[in-house]
Amino acid sequence: MGTPGVRRLIRNGKVTDPSSPSLATTAAGITFQNPIVLAAGTAAYGREIANVVALDRLGGLVTKAVSVEVRPGAPAPRVADFGDGMINAVGLANPGMDVVKRDELPWLAANVQRARVMVNVVGRVLEDFARVVETLDDAPGFQAFELNVSCPNTRAGGLEFGADRDTLTALVSQARARTKRPLFVKLSPTLVNIGEVAKCAADAGADGITVVNTIPGLVIDTETRRPAVGFGSGGVSGPGLRPVGVLATYRVRTAVSLPILGVGGVTSADDALQYLLAGASIVGIGTAALADPRQPERIVDGLRHWCAAHGVARISDIIGTVEWPS
């Protein structure tokens, strides 16, 4: 007789006990021990949060931006809480690709063993992305690149790289030619047809899609009558972004077969499950981790408990299984 209260499932001829479900997922050939990763910018390069987050309990992390040159970033204040979420204008501050290669990636190689690492890449002009990829490609400590095509192309007057199909195709193709590592392309929630843009990225050589980036917004301090962040406008994140990100995930899933990193507004295991059901293979945690660095670990535990309670032996089995109304 089986253990009372525990459903036993037969998978590939083997009896599986869902009280010990597998949280492992695979995306772009990379196996993640669980689907929870820290979103770009929230974990810096890992060492900054290593004393408060057990990085190797998570599926992975995406580093903060890496550009060709040193970027000082936007003026302070860079982050503001507005009650329903957070607005930030960090300005992609980073020490530049050479310093990251020399100092940060070796630290990750030495100190992060089980969590998978993606390097977030940004640029001012199209060619910058390929330069960063080529420079970092032979470095240790990471498994994939994430190309942030939501940032402004200064050569095109501030138009996002991902908003123009020809530019996006050239950007991804150039990066693809310089690495065999998986390339994830991070798209903006403001794109009119995000599924078609994802298909464009896939055709150019992308191995995965990240959706979504923050959504542009403005928060005004009514006492000073000035914007809450030093740059003026900023990127809005937090729970209100979640339905936008989940819908974008579903639309990308119906357009391409590439794995998806779903990001935006995840604060609980239930939030992460929505992304997985919509089609994401891995799920990014951002604002919630800044508010409480231990929350990602609790979300991992919550996913395990949900799988056990619902008789799910492998969390990968639920990816993309949302039942759309007929």
Per the structure block, which two tokens stand in for 196?
């078609």
Q: What are phi and psi of 228, to 5 degrees?
A: -75, -20
Annotate 282-325 with three-state secondary structure: EEEECHHHHHCCCHHHHHHHHHHHHHHHCCCCEHHHHCCCCCCC
Per the structure block, which two tokens stand in for 265?
């507004």
CB 249 within 8 A of CB 270: no
Q: What is the C-alpha to C-alpha distance for residues 11 and 304, in angstroms, rounded to an integer?
A: 18
CB 55 within 8 A of CB 46: yes
For the chain, how long is the longest CA-to-CA vector? Answer: 70
Q: What are the DSSP calls for 94-157, one per residue? A: B--HHHIIIIIHHHHHHH-SSSEEEEEE--SSHHHHHHHHHHHTT-SS-SEEEEETTSEEGGGT
Q: What is the C-alpha to C-alpha distance for residues 199 and 301, in angstroms, rounded to an integer?
A: 34
Quick check: is 200 catalytic? no
Strand partners, 281: none
Q: How far is the CA of 63 from the CAs of 67, 187, 270, in angstroms? A: 12, 17, 25
- Pairing status of strand 226-227 against strand 220-221: antiparallel
Contacts of 223 by beta carbon, 8 Å cutoff, 6+ apart:
none
Among 40, 90, 149, 151, the active-site one is: 151
Nearest residue to 284 (alpha-carbon basis) of 23, 34, 31, 35: 35
Active-site positions read: 151
